Structure 1
């Protein structure tokens, strides 16, 4: 019952000759994922790029009639807002009457830049505005997914203790010193953002070609720089219980998987992925039925990790990146190296109100 499949890339080749080629033709990453996902009935709904940062959003073809008001935006924060090596890109759309925004950010690096990361995120939230009567700002949306190389680090603890905690698999000892966790509990802008437990090792910084943390003279401390968070809009004046507009229906989100892919060694980051189940009730049932649109996935029950078998997998939870050209290990794979790749796999369960489900 998958509705959308957002894919996020960073540090993609952004040299002038490459960008000119991508402007004239479909860029290689879009082509790559279209080739992989189209046999499974996914259509590229929207894409946005800011230099080396790309966001691609795919959806099942039979959900297309229920996706509306698709818009994109980008905000540069590098070099005082003049350079796009840092910043945020977003895709927003209405899914069965619920406004959803995917925000992909690449924030400033280094341990001491925590305040700058917060300031840049606040700038992105302020600058990105969409047209239309509903959800003009990012946080006005019913559901926001915020993800990317957020670059938050682990404070206070020295590198020896951090590596000991990783090797001993006592990652919880690092959570309270994670800058993003600290910011979530102290900074009002992040109030309401949720994240699954960090039960995978820090995804930065590795020696390229290995699974060893940074052994250079800089010896950077391992950190969870690559993150996926979400927020459901809080109730406010004019909204019904649960934050939805009158007559809109109820929206709920649960995370089924949050993991990293430690086996990939082409970057100093490790890819991160998540699977979400998004459950909505909608008043669109009568309209959809009258339109005669076939939406077989809408009649399915709860999402199961077993449904990932419908994709080209060789692994378990969140294992779908195996076999993707340029990411897999085969000798014929195209070398399109750009990491980390952050991926969300959204399952949609729809409860129809006031009418019969289509199909």
Structure 2
């Protein structure tokens, strides 16, 4: 959050299960178009009782499309390929969701599957693998990579795409070095750390019976690489960068916040907002005041419950009272957010605006009391 928030990214959610951690950051302009944030986890260690192995997932809708991120840690060792596949099947089976239209993880428009999948390189000996790596003959090793081999016959895995493995195997290294395992075990290098994705078949076809595509969602892999400079683990981290192109199913965010008037501390204020006709509010919705650099969804200076602090509601315009006790005396640049409990996310963000320090005299204040946005 310290690194990404100054660049305009907000942490929208996270989930952790022992060593499995999944964080989702989103650029500020996209946050109001994300809804239905949901997290889940599945333990597969010790027959499902221990979370050292398994999967964690984050799912949400973005611009109307259902997206899921699935981070897995599957069983290790060369001979455990059947157990890896069995655990993956169990994770998919157990990752059910509280949504009628998306009952299972495979029902999402986009599923990104990644993590320490622990697939190994079969048949070849250690010397041949190391020689191939030294000469960057990675294609010789792809043929015996367990995941690539299984995808030839497994109908489900065939639906997942992966970029070319143009980087050296990412496991197993001596700590604080770029040397492969020099211990007595001398484990063979392997591409254990992978990033794959699966688009729904309807989106892959990009066509409908009417001849015009009402839903368009495409994803292009821009980079897929490892990072050898990181040495704190016996794995090397892997990153993938994608470019998404889509036809938005939402023309505007559900809530439009209007920071009208001159905001001056420490005077209480009324916030105005409009909402789309199909938006359903909840008694647990709230409006927050944030500094312009937001670290996470609840990184607010102060907030007000929408229902409890409603001032007026007519002709589509709603007004909510915000107590000034939480306002920063120094003022600065801020923005407003609307959090929807039903959609589990921020569904409206205002443009940044200034809050000024109080420089009004009591006489000035008495003159301003007629302003409907000031109390």
Q: Secondary structure at the match of 2:202?
A: coil
What is the CA deviation profile of residues 274-309 of structure 1, one whole-angstrom value per residue up to 9, with x for unaligned ones?
A: 100011012423x3599489xxxxxxxxxxxxxxxx
Say whether 1:235 aligns with 2:213.
Answer: no
Report the alpha carbon displacement of residue 52 of structure 1 after superposing the two structures with TM.
1.3
What is the CA deviation profile of residues 286-341 of structure 1, one whole-angstrom value per residue up to 9, with x for unaligned ones?
A: x3599489xxxxxxxxxxxxxxxxxxxxxxxxxxxxxxxxxxxxxxxxxxxxxxxx
Say whether 1:274 aligns with 2:240.
Answer: yes
User: Following the alignment from structure 2 to structure 1, what is the Cα–Cα distance between the partners of residues 249 and 151?
Assistant: 34
Report the alpha carbon displacement of residue 150 of structure 1 after superposing the two structures with TM.
0.3
Written as runs of structure 1 = structure 2, the 5 A alignment for 1:126-141 is: 126-141=93-108
Indicate which of 146, 151, 173 corresponds to 1:184.
151
Written as runs of structure 1 = structure 2, the 5 A alignment for 1:94-173 is: 94-173=61-140
Would you say the 8 A contact 1:248–1:282 is kept in 2? no
Would you say the 8 A contact 1:234–1:242 is kept in 2? no
Q: Tell me which structure has the larger Cα radius of gyration.
A: 2
Written as runs of structure 1 = structure 2, the 5 A alignment for 1:171-320 is: 171-235=138-202, 241=207, 249-285=215-251, 287-288=252-253, 291=256
Report the alpha carbon displacement of residue 55 of structure 1 after superposing the two structures with TM.
0.3
Q: 1:195/1:240 Cα in 2 relative to 1: closer, same or farther (>3 Å)?
A: closer
Would you say the 8 A contact 1:242–1:250 is kept in 2? no
Q: 1:242/1:117 Cα in 2 relative to 1: closer, same or farther (>3 Å)?
A: farther
User: Following the alignment from structure 1 to structure 2, what is the Cα–Cα distance between the partners of residues 171 and 165?
Assistant: 6
Which has a greater percent of helix? 1
User: Following the alignment from structure 1 to structure 2, what is the Cα–Cα distance between the partners of residues 198 and 206?
Assistant: 18
Tell me the equivalent position of 1:52. Answer: 19
Root-mean-square deviation (CA), in Å? 2.2
User: Following the alignment from structure 1 to structure 2, what is the Cα–Cα distance between the partners of residues 235 and 163?
Assistant: 42
Q: Secondary structure at the match of 2:179?
A: coil
Which has the larger displacement, 72-81 or 177-186? 177-186
User: Following the alignment from structure 2 to structure 1, what is the Cα–Cα distance between the partners of residues 8 and 53?
Assistant: 33
Greater relative contact order structure (CA < 8 Å, 6+ sep): 1
Q: Secondary structure at the match of 2:201?
A: coil
Say whether 1:79 aligns with 2:46.
Answer: yes
Report the alpha carbon displacement of residue 102 of structure 1 after superposing the two structures with TM.
0.1
Report the alpha carbon displacement of residue 256 of structure 1 after superposing the two structures with TM.
0.3
Would you say the 8 A contact 2:44–2:50 is kept in 1? yes
User: Following the alignment from structure 2 to structure 1, what is the Cα–Cα distance between the partners of residues 229 and 32?
Assistant: 38
Indicate which of 29, 41, 59 corresponds to 1:62.
29
User: Following the alignment from structure 1 to structure 2, what is the Cα–Cα distance between the partners of residues 68 and 128?
Assistant: 19
Q: 1:178/1:128 Cα in 2 relative to 1: closer, same or farther (>3 Å)?
A: same
Would you say the 8 A contact 1:122–1:189 is kept in 2? no
Report the alpha carbon displacement of residue 189 of structure 1 after superposing the two structures with TM.
2.1
With normalisation by structure 2, the TM-score equals: 0.65
Q: 1:242/1:252 Cα in 2 relative to 1: closer, same or farther (>3 Å)?
A: farther
Report the alpha carbon displacement of residue 186 of structure 1 after superposing the two structures with TM.
1.4
With normalisation by structure 1, the TM-score equals: 0.68
User: Following the alignment from structure 1 to structure 2, what is the Cα–Cα distance between the partners of residues 55 and 247?
Assistant: 33
Structure 2 unaligned residues grouped into runs of 5+: 259-350, 352-375
Number of corresponding residues:
256
Structure 1 unaligned residues grouped into runs of 5+: 1-33, 294-358
User: Following the alignment from structure 2 to structure 1, what is the Cα–Cα distance between the partners of residues 167 and 35?
Assistant: 36
User: Following the alignment from structure 2 to structure 1, what is the Cα–Cα distance between the partners of residues 139 and 119?
Assistant: 16
Report the alpha carbon displacement of residue 234 of structure 1 after superposing the two structures with TM.
1.1
